[in-house]
Amino acid sequence: MPEPLNPATVALIKATVPALEAHGLAITRRMYERLFENPEIRDLFNQSHHGETGSQPKALAQAVLAYARHIDDLGALGGAVERIAQKHVALNILPEHYPHVADALLAAIRDVLGEAATPEICAAWGEAYWFLAEILIGREAALYRAHAAAPGGWTGWRAFRVESLRDESEAVRSFWLVPADGGSVMPHRPGQYLGFRVALSGGPVLKRNYSISCAPNARAYRISVKRESRPGLPEGLVSNWLHDHAGPGTVLEVAAPAGEFVLEGEGPVVLASGGVGLTPLLSMAETLAAGNPDRPVLWAHGTQSRGSHAFAAEMRVLAERTPGLTLATFYEDLAVDAPLGPDAHRGRITAGWLVEAAPAGATFYLCGPKPFLATLTHGLAARGVPAERIRYEFFGPADELAAPELEAA
């Protein structure tokens, strides 16, 4: 743990909050422009979150602002540091990457704020950045050591071979991955993801995370990937490449399992998923079914139509052999005259429905698009569900991340 920040530094950081409220997005955009001048650093980032959607600069602007507001009470920022460290480990972020971010952030502050960025303010932000960086570097080192020591574990990029694949819906395809070296794999914690490094033909090296969609085992991992081809949105470069080019025998570079959105505790559980967000929850459901089939579990899944419902048959079979598991599927585009099965509903999952249907005292695990998560997390909280019983995972940059960091997801 680094030495506490100097009180004068804390005061200066808090004094910059109004400037960050007004100019934070301009600062983070400029920071990324400077970072991406270095191709090796640029390749650490998911470019669809920058030039194509612009979501990552917005997320980081909110993160920097949150860090400044809570610089004297970092405990209020919850598990953000752990979330960041887990992402970094999945993408093999190393200590030598941190100085690049520090230089780009401080230069961007000077570029945007001009004379207002006094030497004292820049020095304070440099001290604050490295205070957080040292915490992250220490936690990431501990995670790397744990991965190296675990049975079947590894650090860095390990070659995996696509053993088989299967279409789960109109847009989702599963890939079973086994180590190319013939060894075992580190059993993941249900809910975790894998990091991938993919070199597209004629393009840069890209890094992505995909949730593990099977129960932990020592032999293989399964990922289930959605083809992204929605009008008006950028196509998923790696996701679509996997659909178009990755078949049995294809070798992929993979990092060890990571992520803090994991199944914990012994009490009742509610799983709520939207679209392809069901993948980490499927790992949880399979684990619950194998370890304690009588444990009360409600799984509510929302999807557009029956054609888009991935793993529909697998979920039904899982429920049939698991006494404690209850399924509910919400179809947004189901025709009015279409027949409904016993566990099918029209429309979207609501927080009110979840609270009414949930087993008493349940912990809620939510995964899906940001609007889905925002509606349910806020709705559950408004209905009295304690924050410690609401856990969630989303795909994409984290808008509420609590500190400036080398965000590479």
Task: Please give the positions annotated as active site.
Answer: 98, 140
CB half-sphere exposure, 319, CA atoms < 13 A: 17
Q: For the chain, first and last CA: distance in Å?
A: 25
Half-sphere exposure of 155 (CA within 13 A, CB side): 15
Question: Which among 295, 236, 285 is positioned nearest to 53, based on CA atoms?
Answer: 236
Distances (CA, A) of 259 to 101, 269, 290, 388: 22, 19, 22, 17
Question: Rounded CA gap, 122 and 124, in Å?
Answer: 5
Cβ atoms within 10 Å of 244's Cβ, excluding its own:
9
Helix spans in 70-97 (H): 80-90
**C-alpha 356: how far from its chain's center?**
28
In angstroms, the CA 271 to CA 298 distance is: 6
Residues 124 and 2: beta-carbon distance below 8 Å: no
Q: What is the dihedral of CA 377, 173, 316, 178, to 10 degrees?
A: -100
- For the CA atoms of the chain, what is the radius of gyration? 22
